[in-house]
Structure 1
Amino acid sequence: MIHVLDLEFQGIDHAIASFLIETSAGPVLIESGPYSTFSAMQKALGRHGYQPSDIQHVLLTHIHFDHAGAAWAFAKTGAKIYLHPFGATHMEDPTRLYESAARIYGDQMDPLWGAMEKIPGDQLITLGHCEALTIGDHTFTALHTPGHAQHHIAWELDEVIFTGDVAGVKIGAGPVVPPCPPPDINLEDWNRSLDILLERKAKTLYLTHYGQITEIESHIQELRGMLTDWANWIKIQWESGMGADEMTPLFSNYTGDQLRALGVSPHGVRQYEAANPSWMSVAGLIRYWKKKVS
């Protein structure tokens, strides 16, 4: 049984999800969410008869705060944390990760993400590409899927894949859009990772932002198109000499207009912006194009 838990990020519904899977060895969680949503996590778990200390296995798609920021709180009560090898060092000592984010978010760091504490190394379990992890009567397969982040894993369970950010952000009936934060955006890697998702022949994708996708081929085709569109828009402005500060409000208007043209309501635009802040994609895609020409 798979339960989608709404973490009510910043008081906004359907922006960040976590996934509760019931196994013969107890409940498994995919994505911890940020620590700022931990009270919402507690309430969501309680609705299914669990408390955080019942969670002894947490699978992370990657270590960005919206996906992994509260992992340490589960580790405090004994949980093992499963993740990509590139992410383990930063979870064992998140000082550099936290300080880097604090330079971006400033005094919004705590209200957005909350605390992030160290996780003992012996509770961090890393998996290679296509390596299997069996917990009770369920076997998860780690699919290394870079492009959004070098340390990204999509977790496969039978005919389901929990895609983190590699399959984009899609809220309700709105369009699918690509989250492109710095520093790891790589369009070539991302498209190869989308090929991996298609090759697995899953019947359902579970997006952290947000929910279930069953029309997988059309979803991925739409994502590829939007990823190309956003990347090319940024490239044109950047090559014209426009800086990030000037570009950011223009890009926010551009993406907002796209959403509204596709029938997304004002509340829906807020949901998309909470799940995938437009300014982050400006920074990430400028960095990508700079790497391409360096």
Structure 2
Amino acid sequence: MKTTPQDLGYGVHLIDLEEGGELGRTAAYIVRGESKTALFEVGSSHAAQNILDSLDVLGIKPEEIDYVIVTHIHLDHSGGVGYILPNFPNATVLCHPRAARHLIDPTRLIAGASAVYGDDLERIFGKILPVAEERVRAMEDGEALDLGGRTLTFYDSPGHARHHCSIHDSGSQGIFTGDTVSIRYVPELTGWDFTCLFPSTSPSEFDREAVFRTVEKLRALNPERIYHTHFGATEPASYAFERTLRTVADYDDFAREMFRPGLPWEDLAERIREYIRTDLAAHGHHVHDLSGIELDIRLNAQGLLFVLEKEHAKKQQG
């Protein structure tokens, strides 16, 4: 463990999961109430030891974890749930109703990921193990949970994925938004001397209109801050909402302008790079090296094209 847990105030601690050996890419969060403790996100199974070491630093025993909460089932958020859960004998896994069956039986999840990552799947994400059904609880839209002195309320929040939930925490007046309200890029990851937000449009369920509806739904809660899984807190929350609405619209607009059947994703990735450099320059940041976010650029290009190819095929079918 290269980093120690960060105290963000309001009873919230950030754990850098150091996924892929990279700092500032993926975070887990510890939220402590007066009677219950929750762990948000676990990353892949490679991150398990980092989480356990961080809990030790915080003086939290594994048996004191009451809830393990995952915003959605993409492997960089929940791939390690089944692996780490035996360390938390009293914990219940909380997730979106659409996610529960995939945690209990990850066969389809593994098959889909294998199609993308091939033989590199286990190297990247480690072991993906099932979670016992009795330890999984699906949280409906608007359902609340009392931690003692603070309440967690779960909200259906599609846009990045249909199986995505966001969680409002009354203790911090913050929302844990997973990947729905942009990615927060920090200097530890990028090597830049500033922080910035860009959207995630990765495969296969990006939906521009759903993002817009989710942002409006979460904005109506009047939160003060956003806790991103990638990475850290944005304050005020209004900035994350406004930034997400604008950049998602821009990404979708230029992807549609460029689209033709069979368009190589590399062409769209280059357009995304151009957009990012132009956008940052408009804010006084002249950046040429995008290597720290190249993985996301590729995934975003592929996700946008997946949606447009699907729409095109549907039109062709009449």
Q: TM-score, normalised by structure 1?
A: 0.90
- Cα distance in 1 for partners of 2:257, 2:122 equals 35
Q: Secondary structure at the match of 2:46?
A: helix
- 1:144 and 2:156 aligned: yes
- 1:29 and 2:39 aligned: yes
The alpha carbon displacement at 1:123 in A equals 0.7
Runs of 4+ in 1 over 4 A off after TM superposition: 264-267
The alpha carbon displacement at 1:75 in A equals 2.7
- 1:133 and 2:145 aligned: yes
Residue equivalent to 2:297:
278
In structure 2, the CA distance between the partners of 1:116 and 1:52, relative to structure 1 (3 Å rule), is: farther
Residue equivalent to 2:99:
87
> Greater relative contact order (Cα 8 A, min sep 6): structure 1 or 2?
1
Contact 1:130 1:143 in 2 (8 A): yes
Q: Secondary structure at the match of 1:191?
A: helix
- Cα distance in 1 for partners of 2:136, 2:267 equals 39
Larger radius of gyration: 2
Task: Choose from 20, 41, 59 the match for 2:69.
Answer: 59
Residue equivalent to 1:219:
240
In structure 2, the CA distance between the partners of 1:17 and 1:126, relative to structure 1 (3 Å rule), is: same
Q: For residues 200-242 of structure 1, give each alpha carbon's deviation from its aligned partner in whole angstroms, at most 9, with x where no partner exists.
A: 0011111111111112223221221111221222222223x45
Q: Secondary structure at the match of 2:212?
A: helix
- Cα distance in 1 for partners of 2:12, 2:226 equals 12
In structure 2, the CA distance between the partners of 1:147 and 1:204, relative to structure 1 (3 Å rule), is: same
Query: What is the correspondence of 1:63-212 to structure 2 with a 5 Å cutoff?
Result: 63-76=73-86, 77-78=88-89, 79-158=91-170, 159-172=173-186, 173-212=194-233
In structure 2, what residue type is equivalent to 1:27?
T
Q: For residues 234-273 of structure 1, give each alpha carbon's deviation from its aligned partner in whole angstroms, at most 9, with x where no partner exists.
A: 222223x452344355246435635763537678x44434
Q: TM-score, normalised by structure 2?
A: 0.83
Q: Which moved more, 1:20-29 or 1:250-259?
A: 250-259
Q: Secondary structure at the match of 1:170?
A: strand
- Cα distance in 2 for partners of 1:282, 1:127 equals 31
In structure 2, what residue type is equivalent to 1:169?
I
Residue equivalent to 2:267:
247
- Cα distance in 2 for partners of 1:66, 1:221 equals 25
In structure 2, the CA distance between the partners of 1:259 and 1:48, relative to structure 1 (3 Å rule), is: farther
Q: Which moved more, 1:18-27 or 1:180-189?
A: 18-27
- Cα distance in 2 for partners of 1:124, 1:154 equals 17
In structure 2, the CA distance between the partners of 1:256 and 1:106, relative to structure 1 (3 Å rule), is: farther
Q: For residues 153-201 of structure 1, give each alpha carbon's deviation from its aligned partner in whole angstroms, at most 9, with x where no partner exists.
A: 1101111111111111012333311111222111111100000111000
Unaligned runs of at least 5 residues, structure 1: none
The alpha carbon displacement at 1:142 in A equals 0.3
Q: Work out the number of aligned pairs and report it.
A: 290
- Identity rate, percent: 24
The alpha carbon displacement at 1:88 in A equals 0.7
Aligned-residue CA RMSD in angstroms?
A: 2.2
Residue equivalent to 2:5:
none
Q: For residues 36-68 of structure 1, give each alpha carbon's deviation from its aligned partner in whole angstroms, at most 9, with x where no partner exists.
A: 222222222222123545423111111111111
